[in-house]
Amino acid sequence: MRIGVLISGRGSNLQSLIKAQLEGRLSAEIVMVISNVPNAEGLKKAVSSKIPHQVINHNEFANAKEFDDALHKALTSAGAELICLAGFMRILGDGFIAKWPNRIINVHPSLLPSFKGLHTHERALEAGVCFTGCTIHFVRPSVDEGPIILQAVVPTFPDDTAEKLANRVLQQEHVIYPLS
Ligand code: GAR
- Please give the average per-residue pLDDT across 54-75, as a whole number: 98
Atom of ligand 1 nearest to the CA of 144: 14
Which pLDDT value is given to residue 76?
98
| CA gap 130, 26 in Å, rounded | 32
Q: Is 109 in the pocket of ligand 1 (CB under 6 A)?
A: yes
Report residue 147's pLDDT band, with 50, 70 and 90 as the boundaries: very high
Atom of ligand 1 nearest to the CA of 7: 16
108 is catalytic: yes
Which pLDDT value is given to residue 21?
97
| Nearest of 14, 9, 3, 11 to residue 177 by alpha carbon | 14
Task: Please tell me whether the peptide bond between 113 and the residue prior to it is cis, using omega within 30 degrees of 0.
Answer: yes
| CA gap 124, 167 in Å, rounded | 14
Q: What single letter denotes the amino acid at residue 24?
A: G
Share of the chain above pLDDT 90, in %: 99
Half-sphere exposure of 88 (CA within 13 A, CB side): 29
**Is the pTM for the entire model greater than 0.95?**
yes
Report residue 86's pLDDT band, with 50, 70 and 90 as the boundaries: very high
Q: Is 6 in the pocket of ligand 1 (CB under 6 A)?
A: no
d(CA 100, ligand 1 centre) in Å: 21
